[in-house]
Structure 1
Amino acid sequence: MIRRRRIRTTLIILSALLFLGGCMHLMQSEVQPPQIEGIFWQPDLASTPPSGNWHLLGVSTFIPQWSVVQSKAWFDHDTGFSKWKRNINLKQLSQNAWAQHIILGLAGEYNERTARAEVLRLGKESQSIISKTQPVPLKGYYFPVEADPTWLGVHRLAQTIESLPKPMWISIYSGETTPEHIDMWLKSWLPKDTGVFFQDGVGVGTRSPQQARKILNQLQQEFGKDHIIIVLEAFRPTSKGTFRSAYPWEIIQQLKAYEGQKVYIFDGPHYMNRFNVYSVALWYRLHYGSPH
């Protein structure tokens, strides 16, 4: 009985959101919609191989965050590394509608402190990965050592990125709600022609979607809209210190704040299940029209 009530309540709320989305579409037809271009994935044994219906949101680019973690490969290509128990084939992955284009995550570590301390080694491992995956058509590469203004050794990340081929992407975040001079901090070390994914911080409770949009505008004013793309965190903290999937209406609030922007979602296999995708896709169509 309790489960039925929860389902009924969810459907009522979703219906209200869809109705409001339809009304808003009539009133805001001039608004440029967010373009949901990509989905991140943190490979693990439970989600390998990845599956989903993210193409319904317009997604066509897939980013496996790591190819290699702890010197073990998630892919079955001969990269010279030992492999995890489950792995996937990049060419087969690209046959999915939501992975027509792949930005390949390179070598990383699960622990951020370890990754930062070993960034130069990870750069060398990444060079090996790139050389072994040259035959696979890729949209670009993602170097998965994240940066924030507290990292005093960020120049080592810049040194590593400069040694890797382009197009290359990294990601940044900030633990402050409204970080001052984040654009100047990034400008002080970021190598030219490096793309940046800005994590919105909404999922970890650092800031609101509107505050994230202000920081995004600040960064894009300095670096250009094509070089700074926002990452929508599709999760929320729980009272137990873990994370849950964001509810559809929470994701919708983020998307509304990111109108006119390219959006990448973190992450699909763990937080964007089929119900979330169907719900957000229905709202999107009523509010903006088809995402394709």
Structure 2
Amino acid sequence: MHSSPDIQPPQIEGMFWQPDLATTAPKGNWDLLGVNTFVPQWSIVESKSWFDLDMDFPKWEKNISLKKLNQKPWAENIILGLAGEYDEKTARANVVNLATHSKKIIEQTQSYPLKGYYFPVEADPTWICVDDLAKAINILAKPVWISIYSAEQTPHHLDSWLRSWLPEHTGVFFQDGVGVGTRTPEQARKTLEQLQLEFGKEHIIIVLEAFRPRKNGQFRSAYPWEIAEQLKAYEGQKVYIFDGPHYMNRWTVYAVTLWYKLRYG
């Protein structure tokens, strides 16, 4: 059954990857969903590089070629993650220093046809010194993207909080909070639209969390029907998914692709 012609399908454009040794090099079939943009969350984390770039940092035991990655159908475009830390508190405490490292990464990747850069220090309204993030962003070249989240189910004044410090011409990925159990897809859509009303649809993109919490505090991959519920709520929106190598295996992609074709034609 096809959807009404008035319904605009979600545009699944991007896939995040949080690099680790278990998923290097990333493999997947996410292009079946329409993905053509890949976002490695970090180039450098804990002062070690995930890529074979000529930088003054030691490399992880496994590292990958940016050129080879760019040849994958789901990575025709790359928004390159910059310097970060695994631990959020450490990243926030060293945000300006990470921006300095990130500036070097940008200088070293000028010859690559990148779509943009992602600065991987996440922000939420509890970060008292979030102005430090603004200072860090201003060090970096444009276009640069960041991500935000909120632990409130229906966050109030998230738009005014963001407006109070966000430098102009900065793209924002809004984490939907569904994967961590904070809110429903419908609630995420409402918050997304409030942010887009303030900043414009092209500057605020939703990140679909393709995981769900387990009772032991760990996370599992979201089931295809759970992802479908999120995508239904995000109809008419550009969508990025977090993250492919860990939570979107081939069979999940096949199932979601089939559902997408049945619903939208």
Confirm or deny a common fold (TM above 0.5): yes
Aligned partners of 2:137, 2:38: CA distance in 1, in Å?
21
**Amino acid corresponding to residue 127 of structure 2 in structure 1:** W
SS at match of 2:16: strand
Q: Percent of aligned positions with the same letter in both sequences?
A: 70
SS at match of 1:95: coil
**Mapping for residues 272-283 of structure 1, pairs under 5 Å:** 272-283=248-259
Q: Which residue of 2 aligns with 1:225?
A: 201
Aligned partners of 1:131, 1:30: CA distance in 2, in Å?
45
1:237-271 deviation digits (Å, cap 9, x = unpaired): 00111000000000000000000000000000000
- Equivalent residue for 2:237, pick from 261, 271, 278: 261
Deviation at 1:134, TM superposition (A): 1.1
Q: Normalising by structure 1, what TM-score?
A: 0.90
Q: Which residue of 2 aligns with 1:90?
A: 66
Q: Which residue of 1 aligns with 2:40?
A: 64
**Amino acid corresponding to residue 64 of structure 1 in structure 2:** P
1:144-188 deviation digits (Å, cap 9, x = unpaired): 000000000000000010110011000000000011100000000
Q: Normalising by structure 2, what TM-score?
A: 0.99
- Equivalent residue for 2:164, pick from 180, 185, 188: 188
SS at match of 2:254: helix
- Equivalent residue for 1:234, pick from 196, 204, 210: 210
- Equivalent residue for 2:223, pick from 241, 247, 262: 247
**Amino acid corresponding to residue 61 of structure 1 in structure 2:** T
1:105 and 2:78 aligned: no
**Amino acid corresponding to residue 178 of structure 1 in structure 2:** T
Q: Which residue of 1 aligns with 2:133?
A: 157
Residue segments in structure 2 that go unaligned for 5+ positions in a row: none
Aligned partners of 1:63, 1:162: CA distance in 2, in Å?
21
| Cα RMSD for the two superposed structures | 0.6
Q: Which residue of 2 aligns with 1:175?
A: 151
Residue segments in structure 1 that go unaligned for 5+ positions in a row: 1-21
Deviation at 1:79, TM superposition (A): 1.4
Deviation at 1:136, TM superposition (A): 1.0
Deviation at 1:30, TM superposition (A): 2.0
- Higher helix proportion: 1
1:207-242 deviation digits (Å, cap 9, x = unpaired): 000000000000000000000000000000001110
Q: Which residue of 1 aligns with 2:29?
A: 53
**Amino acid corresponding to residue 109 of structure 1 in structure 2:** E
SS at match of 1:63: strand
> Once superposed, which parts of structure 1, at least 4 consecutive aligned residues long, lie more than 3 Å away?
none
Deviation at 1:71, TM superposition (A): 0.5
Deviation at 1:29, TM superposition (A): 2.6
**Amino acid corresponding to residue 106 of structure 1 in structure 2:** L
